[in-house]
Amino acid sequence: MTTPSTSAIGAPVSLDRRSLFRAGGALAVAGGLTASASAVSAQGEPEAAAAAPGGLPTRNPLVEQRADPFITRPVNGMYYLTGSVPEYDRVVIRGAATLDGLADARERTIWRRPSSGKMGGYIWAPELHRIDGKWYVYFAAGDSDDPFRIRTYVLESAKDDPREGGWELKGQVVTAWETFTLDATTFSHRGKRYFLWAQHEPGIDTNTNLYIAEMASPLALKTTPVRIATPTLDWEVQGFRVNEGAAVLIRNGRVFVTFSASATDARYCMGLLTADENANLLDARSWTKTPTPVFTTNDATRQYGPGHNSFTTVGDRDVLVYHARDYRAITGDPLFDPNRHTRVQELRWNADGTPSFGVPVGKGGPVVRLSPADAPALFVRHFEYKLRVDGNVRDLADSQFRFVPGFLGAGTVAVQSVNFPDRYARVDGGVVRVDPFEDTDAYGRAASFVRAPGLTDRDGVSLRLAADQDAYLAHDTGRLAVSKPGGDRRARERATFRVS
């Protein structure tokens, strides 16, 4: 770790905006994953950083102009990505050994729509699944004379690598009605394979609802569809009455289904359905809808219309895959705005076993949480902009931070709030706050730290004040404070934090 000069620690340094935001020093090691240095723009917004080897990507977006992203869980050591292309004319797949590798991986077109007739219209939302030793792509397609006559179709390949040739169109997945149908996914649970999709049901005044059925094979349904979600809540009916884009995650004794709702602009958002893992998934009464959206537009992080997600994993960590735009204002129909980009971020879990999505995190390096070594079940979080230490933080983003280059040059770091990226941890007398950036020498000194190996656990981290060689951030009975631990073992433990 780079050690700052004595003058950087002890003596006042004259700072201007250029020096405050010049990239300096190495970024933090997040959870054992070394991050690369990141430049910081004149507006104080970190640019996209490279990924830690074998870990979660830190670049955001991961892949530009790929909406409705679907990333497989690792298959024979490979991740595969597919999604909607802006032209809505083909099905593409790329693969890599790491999530970050998908960003630059060569993309293959495995199927292209015919020039006319059936399936010659819009091609939407492909998903790639490995079932019984074969690959299947479920996708939605319209016809050339009516591109919105959308139905669900399936491709099959016996190849080991889905990027290779050998794909065969197997036809339409037939449901109960010959109506607008899209966004199909499939999953297995307790020896049964299920199909889950969005469709317009005749006689119901909605655009699409969610349906589930057991499958007889990867190509056909076995049971009558069951409607498990209908858009009725205010956040589901903005612009269009839509429930679509379902994704399944089975964890902690429950089956969770995320879905997207409303129009595809900044109002697009994600909801959540939950069923007990022992329940009859084909009984609509088994499913409970969370009354509020779980993932929404965030003006502070400049992420708009997050949705149509999927899930993958890195080791034992769950990863949320989704698309969003970097701007709110759209000219024309948002469906034809090309800049819904593929993004990924770690999915966390609440103490009660429910998923905690936080906010779409926006640009920057690794997102971390800090737990004091003397209370490892608790997390540093901000509340009313003051830093404290709490357990079971359900407002996940309040406990998420980024280490970014500090304001005193090489060897210093700043601690940036994820959900308020214009705010940084700052020592204000005896209080540690997350305060908006100020272009002053005093702010630069109060918001800059030296990151060091943990005083009692070298796998952890300790944050020494850049302006005082003896003072550290420390846990003090539920709040974050400044301490001079010296050689006291307990005090040094309180000034050590585990990074996750």
What pairs with residue 289 in β-bridges?
A: 273
Is the residue at 24 inside a domain? yes
Cα separation values, 137 from 73, 130, 151, 155, 200, Å: 15, 9, 14, 5, 22
Residue where a domain terminates, one of 300, 331, 356: 356
| 477 alpha-carbon distance from chain centroid | 32
For residues 436 and 377, the answer to whether their CB atoms sit within 8 Å is: no
What is the C-alpha separation between 57 and 49, in angstroms, rounded? Answer: 8
- The catalytic residues are 68, 244
- For residues 357 and 348, give the distance between their C-alpha atoms in angstroms, rounded to a whole number: 7
Of 137, 177, 175, the residue nearest 153 (C-alpha): 137
Whether 100 contacts 35, CB under 8 Å: no
- Residues 31, 91 within the same domain: no
Asked whether 363 and 62 are in contact (CB, 8 A), the reply is: no
Q: In terms of domains, do 390 and 450 share one?
A: yes
**Domain finish residue from 333, 356, 379:** 356
Q: Are residues 30 and 136 located together in one domain of the fold?
A: no
For the domain that residue 308 is a member of, what is the CATH number?
2.115.10.20
Q: Which of 331, 289, 278, 327 is nearest to 305 (CA)?
A: 327
Other C-beta atoms lying within 10 Å of the C-beta of residue 413 = 27
Q: Which long-range contacts (CB under 8 A, 24 or more apart) does 164-169 make?
A: 165/110, 167/110, 167/111, 167/137, 169/111
Same domain? 462 vs 314: no
Q: Are residues 78 and 225 in the same domain?
A: yes
59 assigned to some structural domain: no
Backbone angles phi, psi at 399, to 5 degrees: -110, 15
Whether residue 16 lies inside any domain: the answer is yes
Residue 215 and residue 170 in one domain = yes
Distance CA 372, CA 201 (A): 53
Number of domains in the chain: 2
Residues 6 or more apart in contact with residue 210 via CB below 8 angstroms: 196, 197, 198, 227, 228, 229, 230, 243, 244, 246, 257, 259, 273
280 in the same domain as 376 = no
d(CA 261, CA 235): 7
**Residue 387 has which token pair?**
């830093």
CA dihedral 69, 107, 330, 245 (to 10 degrees): -20
**Full residue range of the structural domain in which residue 133 is found:** 67-356
Indicate whether 115 and 13 sit together in one domain.
no
Domain identity same for 286 and 375: no
Query: pLDDT tens, position by position, for the chain (500 residues)?
Result: 333 333 333 333 333 333 333 332 233 333 322 232 233 332 333 333 344 434 788 788 999 999 999 999 999 999 999 999 999 999 999 999 999 999 999 999 999 999 999 999 999 999 999 999 999 999 999 999 999 999 999 999 999 999 998 999 999 999 999 999 999 999 999 999 999 999 999 999 999 999 999 999 999 999 999 999 999 999 999 999 999 999 999 999 999 999 999 999 999 999 999 999 999 999 999 999 999 999 999 999 999 999 999 999 999 999 999 999 999 999 999 999 999 999 999 999 999 999 999 999 998 889 999 999 999 999 999 999 999 999 999 999 999 999 999 999 889 999 999 999 999 999 998 899 999 999 999 999 999 999 999 999 999 999 999 999 999 999 999 999 999 999 999 999 999 999 99
Q: Are 47 and 35 in contact (CB under 8 A)?
A: no
Q: Is 419 within a domain?
A: yes
Residues 301 and 448 in one domain: no
Quote the tokens at residue 194. Answer: 């299920």
159, 44: one domain = no
Q: For residue 180, is it within any domain? A: yes
Last residue of a domain, one of 296, 321, 356: 356
Contacts by residues 115-120 (CB-CB < 8 Å, ≥ 24 positions apart): 115/144, 116/144, 117/143, 117/144, 118/143, 118/144, 119/143, 119/153, 120/144, 120/145
Is 1 a domain residue?
A: no
Residue 340 and residue 481 in one domain? no
The β-bridge relationship of strands 134-143 and 226-229 is unpaired
- Are 362 and 60 in contact by the 8 Å Cβ rule? The answer is yes
In a domain, 239, yes or no: yes
Is residue 229 in a domain? yes
Residue 278 CB: number of other CB atoms within 10 A?
10
Q: Which CATH number fits the domain that encloses residue 460?
A: 2.80.10.50
**What whole-number distance in Å separates Cα of residue 469 and Cα of residue 222?**
69
